[in-house]
Amino acid sequence: MIEIDAVSKRYPDGTTAVDRLTLEIPDRSITVLVGPSGCGKTTTLRMINRMIEPTDGRILLDGQDIRERPVNALRRSMGYVIQHAGLFPHRTIVENIGTVPRLLGWDRQRSRSRALELMERVGLDQSLAKRYPYQLSGGQQQRVGVARALAADPPVLLMDEPFSAVDPIVRKGLQDELLRIQADLGKTIVFVTHDIDEAIKLGDMVAVLREGGYLAQYAPPNQLLSAPADEFVEDFLGADRGIRHLSFFDASGLELTSEPIVAEDATPEQIRALSARTAPQTPYLLVTDTEGRPLGWSRAADLAAGADAERLPYGHAFHLGRDSLRAALDSAVLSPTGWAVAVDDEGRAAGVAAQETIAEAIRTAHAARSVVTDKVVTGQAGTEKVVTGQAGTGKVVTDEVAMDKGGRS
């Protein structure tokens, strides 16, 4: 654990960048520092690897004051990733990634094979190994930055807005990759961003800072969205906080019906019989192929008439079991009929749900607080821990419980 204990940083010109910040950063999880520009995120991060020394307070790593460790050893135990990757322009990709291993005295061959292994891990094709950074896209450079930080397998990763300079699609890819890597490696990651969506997606714990390095709230994302501590946090979370919170509610409990679903080879009699039952709820039927995969919505009357019935696109289906109520609601909103389509692993229509049904599920979920759970930190050998914030402090409470992992879709 990294403990930031009443740490302040005042710059010589009198700026208080960080003011008595207390924050417990749990092991093997992603802790995000988020907040507006100038609120002290970078300063805090750099105090952890002693690129900046605090004016007051102390920082402990596994119970030991970091000032008691040789600074080189400390930094080697902490990979550091920054915006624009900060790669050495005159070194190839493998050489960049192998920088720290070489410093640690590994021979060229071993550093190189480690670098190639890491390229694969971060999703980089090995054909890029001999290129120079300028011959890579921004997203690829960021991947190299992550690989370089991981090269000597440090237990801690410090990441300062690593994905801010790339476009949203590349950024999403990088975020997904980081989550995959983290699921495998279980590093202690401190991640700085000013993007609240990124914080919610990546963070096991999110520290919302405001100007002056003042801790506004420290909580798992789910808790942040459901109970922002004050107006500042609420503003920072943005207007669609409620919608985003739905990512934490599992859609598997949603009551689906398969009544308005019909295969494309159904006879007019079958269609008429079906629509007699479904007409009170909807004039439409979801037409599937003979395998049960959705094709689109048609008016039951047109289908029964046997004419070429107009087929409306069904928008985008949500996955039963994997997706959240947010995805289900999105699916209903995008559907021209207002009905969401759920599919199974094989892409077959598992059922449909009307907007009102989803609204009802949302009300029930809120009432029962039957959240998917805060993201679970997986410890070694299958021990699972749930980390939550302690209201009003930077401290965390860790409970070892057996829970299903929740996805956020």
Ligand X SMILES: Nc1ncnc2c1ncn2[C@@H]1O[C@H](COP(=O)(O)OP(=O)(O)OP(=O)(O)O)[C@@H](O)[C@H]1O
Does residue 8 belong to the site contacting ligand X (CB under 6 A)?
Answer: no
Kindly list the residues in this chain that would bind Mg ion in the complex (CB under 5 A). 42
Does residue 81 belong to the site contacting ligand X (CB under 6 A)?
Answer: no
Does residue 267 belong to the site contacting ligand X (CB under 6 A)?
Answer: no
Does residue 163 belong to the site contacting ligand X (CB under 6 A)?
Answer: no
If you write DSSP's letter for every residue of 81-130 in order, what string do you get? EETTTT--TTS-HHHHHTHHHHHTT--HHHHHHHHHHHHHHTT--GGGTT
Give min distance, CB of 13 to ligand X, in A.
5
Give min distance, CB of 234 to ligand X, in A.
20
User: Which region, judged by CB under 6 A, interacts with ligand X, from 9-17, 113-121, 246-254, 371-379?
Assistant: 9-17
DSSP 375: P
Give min distance, CB of 48 to ligand X, in A.
12
User: Is 55 in contact with 10 (CB distance < 8 Å)?
Assistant: yes
Q: Nearer Cβ to Mg ion, position 8 or 42?
A: 42
196: left (phi over 0), alpha (psi -120 to 50) or beta: alpha
d(CA 293, CA 291): 6
Q: Give phi and psi for 233, each to the nearest 5.
A: -65, -40
For the segment 292-331, give every residue that binds ligand X (CB under 6 A): none
Give min distance, CB of 122 to ligand X, in A.
24
User: Is 336 in contact with 312 (CB distance < 8 Å)?
Assistant: yes
Q: Nearer Cβ to ligand X, position 213 or 389?
A: 213
Among 28, 171, 194, 319, binds ligand X (CB under 6 A): 194
Q: Nearer Cβ to ligand X, position 194 or 375?
A: 194
Q: Nearer Cβ to ligand X, position 37 or 127?
A: 37
**Contacted by 408, from ligand X, Mg ion, none: CB < 5 to 8 Å by type:** none
If you write DSSP's letter for every residue of 328-366 in order, what string do you get? HHHHHHHSTTSEEEEE-TTS-EEEEEEHHHHHHHHHHHH
d(CA 329, CA 322): 14
d(CA 136, CA 145): 12
Q: Nearer Cβ to ligand X, position 45 or 353?
A: 45
Give min distance, CB of 377 to ligand X, in A.
25
User: Which region, judged by CB under 6 A, interacts with ligand X, from 13-21, 262-270, 291-299, 386-394?
Assistant: 13-21
Does residue 86 belong to the site contacting ligand X (CB under 6 A)?
Answer: no
User: Which region, judged by CB under 6 A, interacts with ligand X, from 39-47, 128-136, 219-227, 332-340?
Assistant: 39-47
Give min distance, CB of 39 to ligand X, in A.
4
45: left (phi over 0), alpha (psi -120 to 50) or beta: alpha
If you write DSSP's letter for every residue of 157-197 in order, what string do you get? EEEESTTTTS-HHHHHHHHHHHHHHHHHH--EEEEEES-HH
Does residue 54 belong to the site contacting ligand X (CB under 6 A)?
Answer: no
Give min distance, CB of 202 to ligand X, in A.
16
Separation in Å, CA 135 to CA 45, 85, 87, 132, 212 = 30, 14, 12, 5, 39
Give min distance, CB of 49 to ligand X, in A.
14
Interacting residues toward ligand X by CB under 6 A: 11, 13, 15, 17, 37-43, 194
